[in-house]
Amino acid sequence: MNCKRGFVAILGICIFLFPFVSVHAQQVSLSLSPPILEAVIKPGKSILIAYTVENSGDPLVLKPQVVSFVPQGNNGEMQLKQELSGPVRFQLDNSQIALEEPFFLKSKDSQQLLLRIRIPEGTPEGDYYYSLLVQSEPPPTTEGIGSTRATVKIGSPILLTVTRTGMLDLKGKITTFDVIPRLSFSLFGTKIQIVDSNDTIPAILTIYNQGKNAIKPQGTLNLRGNFGEKISYDVEPVNILAESERLVTATPSADIDCDTIPKKGLCNNQYSLLLQGFFIGLYTLSTTINFGEGSPLITANTNFIALPLRLLVALIIVIGIALLLLVKLKDRKTKPKDQTDSVTEE
């Protein structure tokens, strides 16, 4: 009897307590700093960089690794490789954590990763691109249901330039420099580009890096109007990796807030510059770019004509309607009055 009572009591306690044990989906929240590393190193030398990975989510098992990457697209995106390639050697100087080895990081905690980067003697001069990744382990499987389990990798690009002398191969060329007009046609071999006076005019500047080292463009985009008005925009010094192309933006006009702007179409593409205002007449957009000390100055320009097209169309429609009304009014006035009267009498 006592045994039965005891069993019932334990069962009751279990039933009472179990609902308070919370079961929730695992949240992964990671941060990694510094977000990018750029270094120029001589062969035979090494550097030590302290990264910090922070866990703001649930407790996690994490694994650090370094992989190579290649540039993808022309907006600074990267395609990560599955493995590490090239002569550069990486290791963690932490006493208890190594690359490719898992470690535990509890919630609201952080871990410093001391990454040593060594350039062996004899490493060919040039650029080498890697990314430090910290990867979470997937949660355990759940039997009986269709499910997907997620792993999270957070990365930090590492751009290494290996040089013996400090001399860099800085060569770039402008591949595209143009505005996106409303109308475009060729007249006697000259490209004519027409925009509406009230248009937001997107401009595109892309630069291809022909050299062996990453370049940072420095310079301006200048807009000059036919009444002498002039405005300059500074080019943002983004990295253009060796043998890759990148869209170069000018600050701050290409910084589009897609959450608030009414012209959502502008958010579907990336632009270097958005020219806003009221334009009338012939304009020249030019650019002057260099890539640092000793690099040549490169220039390009493009022209466009701004006309109040919408205003003209509206004016034509108004004039058309006005003429039509005038003609009808004239017709009504010239109709014989007696003819109208006779119809009425019938």
Q: Enumerate binding residues for other proteins (CB under 8 A).
A: 25-33, 35-36, 54, 56-57, 71, 75-80, 129, 131, 133, 136, 138-139, 141-157, 159, 216, 218, 234, 237-239, 241, 249, 252, 254-259, 267-270, 292
Instruction: Report, in Å, the least distance between residue 214 CB and other proteins.
Output: 8
Which two three-digit tokens encode residue 196? 């509406």
Judged by beta carbon, residue 79 or residue 340, the one nearer other proteins is 79
What is the three-class DSSP state of 42? Answer: coil
Instruction: Report, in Å, the least distance between residue 137 CB and other proteins.
Output: 10
Instruction: Report, in Å, the least distance between residue 298 CB and other proteins.
Output: 15
Judged by beta carbon, residue 123 or residue 272, the one nearer other proteins is 272
Judged by beta carbon, residue 64 or residue 304, the one nearer other proteins is 64
Which two three-digit tokens encode residue 215? 């370049």
Judged by beta carbon, residue 129 or residue 304, the one nearer other proteins is 129
| Total length of the chain | 346
Q: Are strands 190-196 and 77-80 parallel, antiparallel or unpaired?
A: unpaired
> From the centroid of its chain, how far is CA 343?
74
Instruction: Report, in Å, the least distance between residue 116 CB and other proteins.
Output: 21
Contact, 148 vs 24, CB < 8 A? Answer: no
Please state, in angstroms and rounded to a whole number, the distance separating the CA atoms of residues 114 and 117: 10
Q: Measure Cα distances from 256 to 25, 48, 76, 115, 275 in Å.
A: 35, 37, 17, 36, 12
Judged by beta carbon, residue 218 or residue 284, the one nearer other proteins is 218
Cβ atoms within 10 Å, residue 56: 13
Instruction: Report, in Å, the least distance between residue 216 CB and other proteins.
Output: 5
Instruction: Report, in Å, the least distance between residue 4 CB and other proteins.
Output: 39
Q: What angle do CA 34, 71, 124 make, to 5 degrees?
A: 85
Judged by beta carbon, residue 254 or residue 306, the one nearer other proteins is 254
Cis amide linkage into residue 252, ω under 30° from 0 = yes
